[in-house]
Amino acid sequence: MRIASSLIGVLLSMFVLGLGCEQQSQQEREEPEAKQPASPKNVTKEEPSSTATKNQEIFQAAEAASTHCKLPEGTNIDPDSFGVSATRRHVLFLEPGADLKKKSESIRRLFPSAYWLLDTQTGKLTNILDLLPLAEGDGKLLVKPRGLSANGRYALILAERIKQSKAKSSRKKGYTAFLLTLARGSVEKIAEKVVHAAWIGDKISLSSLSRSGQEDDKEDTDDKKDTDDKKDKKEKGGRMTRKMVFFDPVTKSTTELEMRGIIISGHPDGTLLVFGCKLKKMTKAMNLLDLRDSKMAVINMKGKVLRKLKVKPLEGPAPSRPIFSDNGKYFAFRQGRLVRGRKPKKVKVRIMATTGDEEQTIKEIGTPIRLTDDGRVITVGNVFEVEGASVKVWDRDLNSRTVVDHVAAAAIVGNRLFYITAGESPLVKSTKLEF
């Protein structure tokens, strides 16, 4: 009886949501977008400093933002999972586990209540977790969204059904990688035992570990699991890095490099941000204990080291997912962790050139969401604040201007900023950026 009541409530909410989005979509079709006003109202005006360049004025926000849809009241959003397809039709965001209120924010984000796919044209809201082959079984569903492809056709998800107490061990054992085709709303499994995955343009990098470091390593049995975990801590061997692999979602083919390590992010031109690599001999595997002390580096597809970084992704506050400029000259990431209900410590945004030692640091709390070809960056602040965060544009002299306030999550597609408003009645909105 209780299940039936819950089901009726969900269907009723989706019906109301779809109706509201349909009415809003109709209004948008009838009312053309207003032209760029000479003096935008929702941009904080600041007098440029003597060292500021004309590029400081390159970003302008439209006077009135378009509202695409209203989300159900009280919807909780994981900001790092928010994404918008290149077609601007589909919006993705994860809702942390509602039944884990006594658990930490990081645990609730690992075991979400839903991973929503919103069609802004029809108002249809689909829970992707219901589409995964792992939807039923023992334990809870651990989910790690890995963003959208550059062409806007696909989304990448790492998932596994495990017990909460085994969440840490899964980081080295690996997850199952799934590919979501947005237009069809269908999911397919593409790989297993993946410890990290990232979009490199329209292709996917898949990184994994094995007991021997070889590609034909046999699967661990349940009987050996506890013993193996203890050996990983005591032995210098343990799990080893495998060869770097790329997967093409269109042809379903894989390409294997001779280099071994874990790809964090990259650019379609072949510039890769990695760790877990023996930089003097890329073909040699690195064991788990050395991996924990490994620092990030920028390399190319041939294994040439372009830049070494003094950042350890597996130690202390983890950086945000790095982003690259379109020309591949710069990359940026947030160093430090943002957690709901906790005061941020040592959080900053780092902007670096892929070669040489050029670097800039924004000491204000923020996460980079767009990086221009000349090194300017757009950031979204601490979205866990009660009133939400501000989206700001930073020029090369680190002068900033505010585009919009009270934001719970944000992403940029083309010349348009998409965001979810903070508060009990969140809206999916967008505003045009001139640059």
Query: Confidence band (pLDDT; 50, 70, 90) for 92?
Result: very high
**CA–CA distances in Å: residue 316 to residues 278, 312, 319, 337:** 22, 8, 9, 9
Q: Which two tokens stand for residue 174?
A: 């690996």
Give me the mean pLDDT over the 161-186 stretch.
77
**What's the pLDDT tens digit per position in 223-257?**
444 444 444 444 445 688 899 999 999 999 999 99
pLDDT of residue 20: 41
CB-based contact 317:346 (threshold 8 Å)? yes
Please tell me the distance from the alpha carbon of residue 302 to that of residue 306, in angstroms, as a whole number.
11
Please tell me the distance from the alpha carbon of residue 308 to that of residue 298, in angstroms, as a whole number.
6
Question: Any idea what the Cα angle at residue 108 is, between residues 11 and 4, rounded to 5°?
Answer: 25
List of long-range contacts for 327-333, beta carbons under 8 Å, 24+ apart: 327/373, 328/267, 328/268, 328/269, 328/271, 328/354, 329/353, 329/354, 329/373, 329/375, 330/354, 330/371, 330/373, 330/375, 331/265, 331/267, 331/273, 331/298, 331/371, 332/368, 332/371, 332/377, 333/368
pLDDT of residue 41: 31
**What's the pLDDT tens digit per position in 70-88?**
888 888 888 888 999 998 8
Residues ≥6 apart with Cβ < 8 Å to 234: none
What is the maximum span of the chain, computed from C-alpha positions, in angstroms? 69
For residue 10, the number of C-alpha atoms closer than 13 Å in the C-beta half-sphere is: 11
pTM: 0.78
**CA–CA distances in Å: residue 367 to residues 8, 121, 242, 319, 332:** 39, 29, 30, 9, 9
Residues ≥6 apart with Cβ < 8 Å to 368: 320, 323, 332, 333, 334, 349, 351, 377, 378, 379
pLDDT of residue 59: 37
More confident: 308 or 230:
308
pLDDT of residue 57: 34
Task: Tell whether the torsion through CA atoms of 94, 113, 429 and 363 is positive or negative.
Answer: negative
pLDDT of residue 165: 58
More confident: 23 or 163:
163
Mean of per-residue pLDDT scores for the chain: 77
Starting at the edge strand found earlier in the chain, the sheet holding 243-247 runs 196-200, 203-207, 243-247, 254-260
Q: Which two tokens stand for residue 232?
A: 């990983």
Residues ≥6 apart with Cβ < 8 Å to 251: none
Q: Which two tokens stand for residue 248?
A: 């093409």
pLDDT of residue 270: 93
Percent of the chain with pLDDT over 90: 43
Q: Which fold has domain 33-64+317-435?
A: Lipocalin (2.40.128)
